[in-house]
């Protein structure tokens, strides 16, 4: 907040409080030169106004509220840039990255001054952490249950689904069927592999697709030809001559997508032969992929959610493709 705004807010807040107090004192002192209870001469619809003082209970309540407001404003942030004597914060403010967040939070922990948000998180962890451990660990409490087993446990996948709705649905959709650029997680078609370990690795560390842009090296003709070849791989009708020329150029794509175009999960290079398109299968969309490249980013969740929740989420994702 700028200094001007800070002073502005402070003056208005304190001015209002003290102004009201002054009004109250003035009203309780001024008897208008009349006896208490004497008619003031004002009548409204036959109701006469008498010169009575403000009710005592009301006056005390008002004074109490003024005192409360002043104590509150002294203890908590509210007056412009003044942080309050208690140093209370709703969250770690001005934090711009996960690293800064962890640093700020470790700092606060050391000083025994957790912000409100973190106190709530710690409390939630105490209540629910045990539940997550119960669902994800073997009875001995030290080794994880197999992801494929948890995936058959309806109770666990229900909790996994909640976690998914909170953390993943904004990108992958609440039904996990994805959207343009965000893979469908229910179709058993995997960029990075669908084994329990591969899914868990994807969630823990994130993924970054890296399809180079070919527009400059292929030229417009080259882009069109190679696109025709790519479309022909999934049985689409294309100009045969163009596709043949494109096939000759596909050698430079094969390093990642494989000679047969079936993709490579080690690099997250999609299978181009199955008619499933991450970025759309229209000629224009495929040309766009080839010309300008693509770089989808799946965030890493290890530091955000912790491994227990990731294990549970991996089971949920696994269950979407491997139900009974």
Closer CB to ligand HEC, residue 150 or residue 203?
203
User: Which of the residues 188 through 207 are near ligand HEC (CB under 6 A)?
Assistant: 190-192, 199, 202-203, 207
Q: Site residues for ligand HEC, window 209-238 (CB under 6 A)?
A: 209-212, 214, 226, 230
* 151-170 positions binding ligand HEC, by CB under 6 A: 164, 167-168, 170
Asked if 225 contacts 252 with a C-beta cutoff of 8 angstroms, the reply is: no
Instruction: Supply the minimum distance, in Å, between the C-beta of residue 58 and ligand HEC.
Output: 54
Give 115 or 238: the residue with its C-beta nearer to ligand HEC: 238
Task: Give the residue from 88, 156, 108, 123 showing the smallest Cα distance to 312.
Answer: 156
Q: Which residue has the tokens 């969250």?
A: 91
Choose between 83 and 208: whose C-beta lies nearer to ligand HEC.
208
| Residues 257-296 close enough to bind ligand HEC by CB under 6 A | 257, 267-270, 272, 277-279, 286, 289-290, 294-296
Tokens read off for 136: 């994800």
Q: Which residue has the tokens 């990731």?
A: 310
CB atoms within 10 A of CB 269: 22
Minimum separation from the CB atom of position 259 to ligand HEC (A) = 12
Could you give the maximum distance between any two Cα atoms of the chain, in Å?
110
Residue 112, classified by CB atoms within 10 Å of its CB into exposed (0-12), middle (13-18) or buried (19+), is: exposed
Instruction: Verify binding: residue 301, ligand HEC, rule CB under 6 A.
Output: yes
Residues 170-189 that bind ligand HEC (CB under 6 A): 170-172, 181-183, 185
Selection from 292, 293, 178, 282 nearest residue 230 by Cα: 282
Q: Which is nearer to ligand HEC, 93 or 97 (CB)?
A: 97
Nearer to ligand HEC, 75 or 259 (CB): 259
Q: Report in angstroms how near the CB of residue 112 gets to ligand HEC at its nearest.
A: 32
Q: Which is nearer to ligand HEC, 230 or 243 (CB)?
A: 230
Least Cβ distance, residue 90 to ligand HEC (angstroms) = 24
Alpha carbon distance 129, 308 (integer Å):
9
How many other CB atoms are found less than 10 A from the CB of residue 116? 11
Q: How far is 63 from 246, CA to CA, in rounded Å? A: 85
Among 113, 269, 255, 135, which residue's Cα sits nearest to residue 190? 269
> Taking the C-alpha atoms of 312, 314, 316 and 318 in order, what is their torsion angle to the nearest 10 degrees?
-140
The nearer residue to ligand HEC, 89 or 250, going by C-beta atoms, is 250
Is the separation of the CB atoms in 281 and 123 below 8 Å? no
Instruction: Please list every residue from 235 through 264 that binds ligand HEC, using CB under 6 A.
Output: 252-253, 255-257
**Residues lying near ligand HEC in the complex (CB under 6 A):** 164, 167-168, 170-172, 181-183, 185, 190-192, 199, 202-203, 207, 209-212, 214, 226, 230, 252-253, 255-257, 267-270, 272, 277-279, 286, 289-290, 294-299, 301, 313, 317
């Amino acid at each position: 907040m700028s200094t001007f705004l800070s002073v502005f807010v402070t003056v208005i807040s304190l001015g209002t409080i003290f102004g009201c107090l002054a009004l109250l004192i003035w009203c309780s002192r001024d008897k208008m030169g009349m006896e208490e209870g004497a008619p003031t001469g004002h009548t409204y619809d036959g109701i006469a106004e008498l010169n009575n003082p403000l009710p005592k209970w009301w006056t005390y309540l008002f004074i109490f509220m003024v005192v409360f407001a002043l104590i509150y404003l002294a203890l908590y942030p509210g007056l412009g840039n003044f942080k309050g004597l208690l140093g209370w914060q709703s969250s770690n403010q001005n934090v711009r990255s996960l690293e800064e967040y962890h640093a700020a939070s470790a700092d606060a922990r050391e000083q025994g001054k957790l912000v409100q948000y973190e106190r709530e998180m710690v409390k939630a962890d105490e209540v629910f952490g045990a539940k997550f451990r119960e669902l994800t660990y073997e009875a001995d409490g030290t080794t994880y249950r197999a992801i494929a087993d948890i995936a058959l446990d309806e109770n666990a996948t229900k909790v996994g689904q909640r976690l998914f709705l909170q953390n993943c649905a904004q990108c992958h959709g609440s039904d996990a069927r994805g959207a343009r650029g965000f893979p469908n997680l229910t179709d058993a078609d995997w960029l990075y592999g669908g084994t329990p370990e591969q899914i868990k690795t994807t969630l823990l560390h994130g993924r970054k697709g890296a399809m180079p842009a070919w527009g400059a090296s292929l030229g417009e003709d080259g882009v069109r030809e190679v696109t025709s070849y790519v479309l022909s791989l999934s049985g689409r009708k294309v100009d045969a001559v163009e596709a043949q020329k494109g096939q000759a150029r596909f050698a430079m794509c094969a390093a990642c997508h494989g000679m047969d175009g079936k993709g490579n999960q080690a690099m997250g290079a999609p299978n181009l032969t199955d008619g499933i398109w991450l970025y759309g299968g229209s000629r224009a969309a495929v040309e766009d992929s080839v010309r300008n490249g693509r770089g989808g980013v799946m965030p890493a969740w290890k530091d955000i959610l912790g491994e227990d929740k990731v294990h549970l989420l991996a089971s949920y994702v696994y269950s979407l493709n491997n139900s009974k």
